[in-house]
Amino acid sequence: MTTTSTTGRPVALRRAAVASTVGSAVEFYEFTIYGFLAVVFGPLFFPSGDAAASTLSALAVFGGGYLARPLGGILFGALGDRIGRRSVLMATIFLMGGASTLIGVLPTYAQAGLVAPLALLVLRLVQGLSAGGEFTGAQTYIVEMAPPRRRGALGSLPALGIGLGFGVASLVVALLSTVLTAEQLSDWGWRLPFLLCLPLTIVCLFLRLRLEDSPQFTEIVAKAERTRTPVRDVLRGHLPDVLRVGALTVATLGPGFLAKLYLGIHLVQVKDFRPATVYGLLGVVLLATAALFPVMGQVSDRRGRRPIARAGFAAFAVLSLPLFLVVDGTSSLAVILPVVLVFAAIEPFVSAAVYTTFAELFPARTRYTGTSIGFNLGTIVAAGLGPFLCGQLVAWTGWGAAPGLWGTACALLGLLVIAMTRETGRAGLAR
């Protein structure tokens, strides 16, 4: 049985749209600022005579945050299907903001010995736990709030938030790298982006306090149709869709994180560009392409999710290796900039269609749980291990373009899986 998904109240829909976008932006700013600053504070927590080894250790902890995400997805997804989307979204942003702020006041290895990297790992795991329920919760919530013919447009807003979060994080790091010396940035400046998480979190909490639960969840409560075992139910009844979500997440985030995260580390660590220049470039590119997310969401409402996703995956498959061939073969940012801009513009084709599809694959009573488990399993491979594996590929092969092979492989997986995924854009949301 299906039902439409609309509040009938424009004010509630606007609040949901703003809260989903801003919440995802803040969450991903907080979660990814670590990756941008790993080159700076890696040696402070993982001292080594080899700067590259220290950075790889810091990236390994970055990946550890992703390893905690499936647990967070299971925990918060199940809670979201049992007690409501709004309450869980309040909890996830609170945990993320608290952990991120505390990273900004941690002592270093020189000050606290082994306590420092252990505390960093614990806080990173808390970040991962929170992130495991944040994005999929926001995605579930806004899709359930959206009118049927605008699910793609509104469902693209959490993905827009991801782009905004990455872009702002890049510009913050670029600004600090410009106004501070390398010594100041290493000594205390790296802490400032983490401390900024406190006011950002307060703003998000205020926005989410004004939300109400989605009509579908309210209807389930009224009819006493909530499941007490959402994890068991989704794994028994919808395991193929869970695996489908996981594979499409790998296919989307694998190439996407090449431009969003790994490329910045690569340009600084391998190509020896100035961090301020690199992160300024990435920030401008990500903010410039962010406007494409709702545009492509609208196109997916008209044309269907699968054609838009296919086009994006095909472009990623073709262009991932050329991106890094260009980067590896030049020392001119004037040459790199247009290539990165084109590559970053591909992701909205994929994300705007695929992420909305995730929520449309599952019935309302297990929607939060199903999307959370699948999405977070995929992030372990694509976003958690991906940057680390790309760094290792360069170290193993000595070939600076090797990360492009990773992006191509992920995109080919996406083409295969989307061909086996049903079109969801023209059907009503399952209840």
Per-residue model confidence as pLDDT tens digits over 357-378 = 999 999 999 999 999 999 999 9
DSSP class of residue 3 equals E
Res. 2: pLDDT tops 80: no
Above 60 in pLDDT, residue 7?
Answer: no
Sign (positive or negative) of CA dihedral 425, 427, 429, 431: negative
- Output the six-digit token pair for 237: 């009844």
Helix-then-strand count for the chain, H and E: 23, 2
Task: Taking residues 393-401, report their average pLDDT.
Answer: 87
Between the CA of residue 5 and those of 114, 148, 162, 426, what are the distances in Å? 51, 6, 24, 13
Question: 23 or 244: whose pLDDT is higher?
Answer: 244
**3-state secondary structure labels for all residues of 296-316:** HHHHHHHHCHHHHHHHHHHHH
Say yes or no to pLDDT of 252 above 80: yes
Integer angstrom CA distances of residue 136 from 38, 143, 189, 192:
26, 10, 32, 28
Strand partners, 429: 3
Domain residue extents for the chain:
9-430
pLDDT 10s digits, 405-430: 999 999 999 999 999 999 999 888 87
3-state secondary structure of 285: helix
> Architecture of domain 9-430 in CATH?
Up-down Bundle (1.20)
Question: For residue 103, what are the contacts with CB-CB under 8 A and spacing of at least 6?
Answer: 34, 120, 123, 124, 194
Q: How confident is the model at residue 63 (pLDDT cuts 50, 70, 90)?
A: low
Check whether 23 has a pLDDT greater than 90. no
Integer CA distances (angstroms), 164 to 67, 285, 316, in order? 24, 11, 21
pLDDT at 203 exceeding the cut of 60: yes
Two tokens, residue 410: 């992920």
| Nearest to 406, CA basis, from 305, 264, 259 | 259
User: Could you tell me which residue, 336 or 47, shows the higher pLDDT?
Assistant: 336
pLDDT at 263: 83
Q: What is the mean pLDDT of residues 30-48?
A: 78
User: In this structure, what DSSP letter does residue 429 have?
Assistant: E
Containing 232, the helix (H) or strand (E) segment is: helix 230-237
Q: How many CB atoms lie within 10 A of CB 287?
A: 16
pTM of the model: 0.88
96-116, pLDDT tens digit by residue? 999 999 999 999 988 988 888
Phi, psi of 223 (to 5 degrees): -95, 10
The CA distance from 82 to 77, in Å, is 9
Region 109-125: mean pLDDT is: 87
pLDDT category, 393, cuts 50, 70, 90?
confident
Q: How far apart are CA 131 and CA 419, in angstroms?
A: 29
The string of pLDDT tens digits covering residues 300-312 is 999 999 999 999 9
**Least confident interval from 2-16, 194-208, 223-237:** 2-16
- Burial level of 332, CB count in 10 A (0-12/13-18/19+)? exposed
Token pair, residue 267, equals 């340009």
